[in-house]
Each structure stands twice: as structure tokens, then as C-alpha cells.
Amino acid sequence: MKTLTTTLLLALTVVASAQQNLPKHEAMDYGRFLSASIDNAQGKNPFEQKGGAANKAVVVNLGDRAGGFAFDTETLRGAGGWTGGWLRFKGVTFDGGHGPNPGPAQNAKMHFETNPGPGWSADGSFKDPRPLPNGPEGVMSKIPLGPLPREHSKYLGLFLNGDRVIFHYSVGGAELLESAVLETVAGVPVVSRSFTVTKGELDAYVCLQDLPYGGTIALNDTGAVVTMKFPAPQPPPAPKGKKKAAPTEAPKAPADEVTAVAGRGLPSGSAFVQKDSSLSLKVKASAGTSFKVSFAHGAVGQDADLRKAAAGSSGAADLTAFTKGGPARWTQTVVTETAFGEADQTKQVEFLRQQLAGESDATAKQALEDRIKEALNAPYLVDNLNVPLENPYHSWIRIGGIDFYKDGRIAFSTWSGDVWVGTPSDAKFSKVIWKRHATGLFHALGLCIVDDVLFVLGRDQITRLHDLNGDGEADRYENFNNDVQVTSNFHEFTFDLQTDAQGNFYFLKGGPVNPGGRGWGPLSDHHGAIFKVSPDGRKFEVHATGIRAPNGMGVGPNGEISNGDNQGTWVPADYIHFSKAGDFIEVPDLAHRAQAPTKYSPHLCWIPYDVDNSNGGQTWVTSKQWGPLEGRMLYLSYGKSSLFGVLQERVGDVSQGGVVKFPLKFTTGIMRGRFHPGDGQLYVAGLKGWQSNGVKDGAIHRVRYTGKSVTMQDRLHVTKDGITIGFTGALDRKSATDLQNWSIEQYNYKYSSEYGSADYKVSKPGEQGTDPVAVKSVRLSDDGKEVFLEIPGLQPVMQMRIKMSLKAVDGTRVPEEVSNTINIVPDAKGSDYRSFAK
């Protein structure tokens, strides 16, 4: 195994990128396949129901970007096969664009393509058994979504071996393997679909080719000759808002093209069938049978050559040989050195000392000295594990999920579809050896490890990864569960992957936000929901509905299910919510109920826009080695690259509380957190992919407890007499009891379909602004750890901001704001909420 140091690698990369000078999404080696929602060769998305578009495609890279084969994992359909390049990398994960999806390469020659619908059919009708999404007319998708019923056909996953990608699925009672291959026969490019039946009796029709834009199909003794028509290309869209597009000449339709289709090793009784503008193959085969269908493509008039080439491709191979794992492909590892927080601390102190040296003002000097003392006494330091941002595969490292193996190794997944595993050099993670483990996943924005097995959430499915031959690379990408419905909307991300104590999996999915941010695309049954998947992957349930763009959730030690959400339509500001099965949360358009709710469900708290503008996940402190916060929940902000403690109380079954920011800095938009099973420290990870103040494409930081004293807010209670705030350490009595050091304001938001909300006065509803809240007196408990702010007449309010300028007994500053929500004002204090694993 070759190992490169980052320095050497950097040099290599510079050379490589100077040669290529490609944008990151073009330069990246995606491996042997890429999973994505794809548009057809004309750029039409699956809603148009034309040609090779698919909501969940695995696009195989044929002949090192010489061609492609798109397999629709929901319908087990060979959606398209082409040459002339692999993919055009369009879309939010690639060029950042809003709207278009990847599709066949710019000038791809389509050997075949099929319209969306079942890829196999027992009776040859190819009738789609899936119901349309359930909901009001006009807003729901007009095409069926999600996988076909299990008894019809089911995607089981794929195997990798060398350059081959082997799909594994069932059709009726049979199981089979399928793999596409590109050959050149007598100078003619031939794309073939190879099949091996591995279980049961296959007796069905497989859809081979549709003519979405017209053409003819002529059957012959070896197969068929298909003449395809294509539409004129679309004129480019008008530039945004500002100027009108200059009129252009109407583009002309391109010339017709021809594909010759031929079978190889077809079982007896097989027959090519033409029905309207569809070509299928009727096939009956027992386990152990292998056969192949080849598609040779060229221009009109080349029919004879094409027929010869199609019939002359190599024979059908037994695909089971490819299911045992192949040679390692990502053999170059990357070693990085961890940057320990002490270095940043030193740098910050030096910077402050420089300022101090140039300062003559006594008060300013004192303030700087306090800052230096604070920096030196920091109870938490942030280490940077230095993920392999530079790597030989130009993989774009934007991290969407992390977790740990029992032995302390770390794995992360990326938005561009990779999984990497990091082996630490020692218990401190002084160095990490990073190896690429899996590729081609569909927006891998969630990852968890259960019993040392990797589960990755993609937009299409939860994939269970298997390393069949122990070479550190996944050879089998098992479809653990793909029941979630997906449309081709650019913004309907799925996020996070968490498990509860029973082993159930949870993840989130946003609504299909339109380009630009307003309103929704056509809806599925699953838009804007939290999902629960049983430990065996067989059962998929909607846990709760009505969330917009929820980049992260939490599952507590006792099954507490929380989610964050992102300001936008019906979401006036970010919030933290605890849900129970069947709950509606926030966005009525995504409620999936007969009657759209008119009220949101009360949240634990709302979060002011300048505190957090784009949420991440929630992580419960399950470690005793991380200071005094065990049992507390943490909240991550993607947009502000910040970590927050969450203060919670329960009053009966009502939750309320707020957040307080840790005075820590992160280099990327952090959105996933895990505690390490060994060192008990918090590891947070995230990316820079949409609006954030994060500056690194991706990062993993460790928030390490230094053992110094922690004084920060951890409890919050509201009663009719006032507010009690608890602290983890004792406060300096003088500063805490000075009323001048406290300031509270409050306001409400407007719950509406508009994008976000302004602040509205409580005193004058409808008028923008905030209201001050007068604190009558302040008392500090004898132990110095609890402050009571006397505020008679408190009322429920959506947003309160309690600002304070306090010192701990050791002279360090205490976090300066609690942003909270009051849902209920009880007579007596509710219970402080912490959760510990049983």
C-alpha cells in the first residue's frame, strides 16, 4: 500500500490540477459509478417521463468515461446506455447550479433509453403498480414515486469488481445480477446488458428500449433495428431578472440515429417483442443462466454494420464471479497531522499580546489581559483532524456524516458520495491515515456505524457497506432500505443518520424547495419528514411531518427524537423540536394530512437569525470525560459554524428552553457530532456547500475538554415570578448581581408562507421591533451557580434573548446570551432535563 504525506501530495496535486485546471466537480475521480437523480440526454427531468431520466439512478462509468449505463434502482430499469462520454456533472453537488441534474455527457450518443416505469414486467404490459402520492390536486407529483412493491421487483444492491459494477435485484421470485459493458466491435461501439439468474425461475419481460421522441422499431431474426428521432435542443434560458434574452434562431432537430439490438446466449423461448414504440425481451431462465443483450449504435444507413457488431459482441459471462470482491482500487492513502488547539491558542494569545504591547490605555489593557487569561484558561480547545482535502483522487471532501468503529477508527461520508476511513496513529489522533473506502453514493449526508458495519444515508437509500475481501474497500453496496421517495428537485436533501437504543434508524428529508428559495416543486409522500427504519431495514415509517430543510437531528439516550430546521417558507426562524411518532411539526404544506394544520407544534425553542441561520444536528453528551455536561444536548449550527449548549426544562409534557453558544471556532459549517468511544471527546464535522461562514470545504474538529473549570449556562426555568438560569460553575457575585449586567428583549415571529419572518413586538403585535423586558431584581444562589431574575408578568413568547455580562469566580467571561422560547409560564419550576443512557 502506498502512502503519501500531505506535503508530497500537495505537490502532486498542484501539478495535476495545473494540468487539468478543472473545477473540483470535474476533476474528481468518482470511481466506477455515481448515484444521482438524472435528467435525460435532452436535460428533461423525470417529471417529464421521457427517456432515460430517473429519480434514483446508478450511472455506471463505462470504459473510463467513454460511456455510461444508467440503472434506475427503484424500477430496476435499464434507463439508458450511451457512448461519447460519461456524465455531464450538472447540479447542486457539482457546479452548484439549482435545477438541472446530471445526465448523459454533453454529446452522448444514446444506444438505448427507456421511459420511466417498471424495468421488468410479468405480463409484458409494464404497467406501473405504484399509486400516485396522496394529497391535494396541483401540488402533488403527477408521477408515481418510490420503489416498486417488493413482490414486483426489488433492488438489493451492487457489487464492485475491477471496473465492473454488478447490480443485484429480484424480479418476482427470481434473483439476478446485471452488469453493463462497453466494447468496440469492428470499430463500432457496443453497449451491452449482461444478466445472470442466481436464484429462482425468471419468467418476465425486460424493457430494452423506448422511443421518447419517436422513431421506428424493426424486428429481425437476431433482434431489432431501432431508428431514433431526437428533438431540437432547447434555447438557453433567459438570464436572471436583469436583462431580456436576445432572440435566437430556432434550433433544428438533429439527424436520426440507429441502434441494432441483438441477444447473446439467450435462453430458448426468449423473444424480442415490439409493442407500440417499445422494445422488450421476453425471457424465461433458471438459476445459473447467463445471457446478454447488445446495442450497437451509429448513423442512419449503417444498419448492416451495426447488426454485425451487436451480434459480434463477446459472449454472456457468469456474473457471480464478480460478487466476491475485487482488487483494491484506492490504494494511495493520505496521512495528515492533526492540528492541536494549543497552536491556535498560542496564536491567539500572541495576537492579543501584540495588541497589548501597543496599548497604552489602562482599561483597554485590562480588557486584553482578561482576554489572554480567558484564552489560556479555555476549558475546551478545538483540534483539527485535517481531513484529506488534497488527495490523489481529487475527491471533493465535504463531510456529511461521521462515526467511529469500536477500535477508535473514524469514518466519514461526503456530499460528493465518498466514504473514507481514518486510522489514528495513536490515541491522541496525532496523525491519521485516510483511506478511500467507498464512492459514488448519492449525497452521502449521513453515516453511522452499527456493530462495526457502515451504514450511509444517500438521497436514494440507506446503503450497508461490506468489505468482502478485507482490503479496506467496500465491494458490496447493499440496499438496506430504499423506501424513501425522491424527486429530482435539487433541494430535497436527505440528512443525517442516527440510531436509537433499539437499533432503529432515523433520518430526515426536506421539502423540494424551488430554485431561488420560495415555494415547492411537486410533492411526494415523504417530503419534509422524519423517518424511522427498523433494525433489519425491512420496515420504513414516517415518524413525523412538516419540516422544511432540516440539516440534522438528534436521538437521545432514551429515544428523544429532535430535529432542527432552516428558516424559509413557513419557518420564521430556525428552531429545535422534539417530536413523537405521528406529530406534525412546522410546515403545513408538508404536513401530509387531510386537513393542513393552521398552527405549528410548540418547539423547544426558536433561534434568532443572527445566532443561527442554518441548522446542523443535535448531539447528546454521553461522555463523562467531557466536563460537566453529561446528559445535556448540544446543537450545531452549519451557517454560523458554531456549537451550542441546549437548556431544557419540562413542564408537564411541554418542553421549553434555549441555546447558549460555546466560545469556540470551527473552520467549516459543522453539522454532525459524535462522542468518541475511546477518548470520550466530541468530534464535529461538516462542510461548506451552501451559505455558511465556514471557510474549508470540509473538516472534522475535536472539541477537547482541557480539564479547566467550565462556567456556562446549563439550566433554564421560567415561572410567573421570573427566570432562573443555572450555571455549571460559580459566578462572580458582584457581576452576577449587578442589574446593569443583564438585559432582556423579546419578540414574536410571524408564522406565514413568506420566507422567514421579521421580529414583531409583543407589546404591539403587527409592529416590527422588539420589546425590552424589565428585570426587577437579580439574586444569586449561595453556591453561586444559579441566578434568579425577578420578572413579574412573564407571558409565553416565541423569542427571548437574555444578554448578560458576567464573570465566573475565576475571572473568565461567561457566554453572553441565552436565546430561548417561553411556551408556558408555570407557577412552579418545571424539571431540568438531562438524559443518560440506561
Partner 1 sequence: MTLRSLLTFLLAPLAAAAAEPAQGLHAIFEAGGRTDHRVDRMLALQVPAGQPATPWLPAGPFKAHWEGTVEAPVRGIFTLWAESSGKFRLTVNGQAVLEGAGTKSVQLNKGPNAIVAEFESDGKADAHLRAGWASRDFPREAFPPTSLAHASDEVLTQALRLREGRALFANLNCAACHQDAKLPAKGTGMPEYGQNAPLLADLGAKFDRVWLTRWILDPASFRPHSLMPAALNGPDAEQQAADLAAMLTQGATPASGPVADPALAPAGASLFANLGCVGCHRQPDAQGDDALGRIPLAHVRAKWRDAALMDYLLDPAKNWPAARMPHFRLTEEEASQLTAYLLTKAPATKLTAKEGDAARGAGLIVAAGCLNCHAGMPATTQPPLAKTVTAGAKGCLAPDAAARGKAPAYDLSAGERDALLAFLQSDVAAGLAADVAAEFATRNLKALNCAACHAVDGRGSVWKKVDEECRQLRSLLPPKEHVEGEPVPDAPVPALTWQGEKLKTGWMTEFIAGRVEDKPRWWLIGVMPGFSQHAAGMALGLGQQHGFGPKDPEDPKPDPARIAVGEKLLGMDGGFNCITCHDVGDKEATAVFEAPGINLALSAERLRKGHFHRWLLNPNRLDPETKMPKFADGDGLTQLTEHFNGKAEDQFEAIREYLNSLKKK
Q: How far is the CB of 323 from partner 1 (least distance, A)?
A: 40
Report the nearest approach of partner 1 to the CB of residue 691 (Å): 6
Per CB under 8 A, contacts with partner 1 among 570-609 are 609
**21 lines the binding site for partner 1 (CB under 8 A):** no
Q: What is the DSSP string of 395-427?
A: ----EEEEEE-TTS-EEEEETTS-EEEEEESST
Question: What is the nearest approach in angstroms of partner 1 to the Cβ of residue 375?
Answer: 9
Instruction: Name every residue whose Cβ is closer than 8 Å to that of residue 354 and which is 6 or more positions away in sequence.
Output: none
**Helix%, strand%, coil% for the chain, nearest 5:** 10, 40, 50
Closest distance of CB 531 from partner 1, Å? 25
Sign of the dihedral defined by the CA atoms of residues 573, 576, 578, 581, in that order: positive
CB closer to partner 1 out of 35 and 692: 692
**Which of 34-42, 167-175, 239-247, 307-315 is the region at the interface with partner 1 (rule: CB under 8 A)?**
239-247
Q: Name, in order, each residue with C-beta under 8 angstroms of 229's C-beta and a sequence gap of 6 or more.
A: 211, 213, 214, 215, 253, 256
804 counts as binding partner 1 under rule CB under 8 A: yes
Compute the least distance from the CB of residue 175 to partner 1, in Å. 42
- Cα–Cα distance between 496 and 445 in angstroms, integer? 6
Collapsed DSSP state (helix, strand, coil) of residue 307: helix
Closer residue to partner 1, CB minimum distance, 313 or 637: 637
β-strands 77-83, 215-219: how paired? unpaired
Closest CA to 740 of 676, 799, 804: 804
User: Which region holds residue 225: left if phi is over 0, alpha if psi is between -120 and 50, else beta?
Assistant: beta
Nearest distance in Å: CB 95, partner 1: 7
Which residues between 659 and 698 bind partner 1 (CB under 8 A)? 665-667, 688, 690-696
8 Å CB contact between 485 and 133: yes
**Window 813-832: contact mask with partner 1 (x via CB under 8 A):** ---x----------------
Residue 73 in contact with residue 59, Cβ under 8 Å? Answer: no
Per DSSP, what are the bridge partners of residue 420?
412, 436
β pairing state of 77-83 and 109-113: antiparallel
Which of residues 739 and 837 has its CB atom nearest to partner 1 in the complex?
Answer: 739
Minimum CB separation of residue 747 from partner 1 in Å reads 11
342 sits near partner 1 (criterion: CB under 8 A): no
Considering only 99, 157, 388, 722, the residue that binds partner 1 (CB under 8 A) is: 99
Query: Restricting to residues 627-666, which ones interact with partner 1 according to CB under 8 A?
Result: 639-641, 665-666
Amino acid at 138: G
CB atoms within 10 A of CB 729: 20
- The residue within the footprint of partner 1, chosen from 92, 217, 604, 718 (CB under 8 A), is 92
Alpha helices by DSSP H, 280-423: 303-311, 341-357, 362-376
Please say which residue, 623 or 693, places its beta carbon nearer to partner 1: 693
One-letter identity of residue 279: L
Q: Which of 137, 276, 536, 610 binds partner 1 (CB under 8 A)?
A: 610
Decide: is 373 part of the binding site for partner 1 (CB under 8 A).
no
Q: How many CB atoms lie within 10 A of CB 782?
A: 7
Q: Which is nearer to partner 1, 318 or 754 (CB)?
A: 754
Q: Which is nearer to partner 1, 768 or 831 (CB)?
A: 768
What is the per-residue binding string for partner 1 in 704-743, x denoting contact by CB under 8 A? ----------------------------------xxxxxx
The answer to whether 221 touches 30, Cβ cutoff 8 Å, is no
Does residue number 240 form part of the binding site for partner 1 (CB under 8 A)?
yes
**Separation of alpha carbons 543 and 500, rounded Å:** 13
Q: What are the beta bridge partners of residue 339?
A: 384
516 near partner 1, rule: CB under 8 A = yes
Note whether 747 binds partner 1 by CB under 8 A. no
CB closer to partner 1 out of 337 and 816: 816
Query: Minimum distance between the CB of residue 519 and partner 1, rounded to whole angstroms?
Result: 6
Q: Minimum Å distance from CB 755 to partner 1?
A: 6
Minimal distance in Å, beta carbon 324 to partner 1?
40
Q: What is the DSSP string of 135-180?
A: S-TTTB-SS--SPPPTTTEEEEEEEEETTEEEEEEEETTEEEEEEE
Interface with partner 1 (CB under 8 A): 24, 92, 95-99, 239-242, 347-348, 351-352, 361, 363-364, 367, 371, 514-519, 568, 609-610, 613, 639-641, 665-667, 688, 690-696, 738-743, 754-756, 758-759, 767-769, 803-805, 816
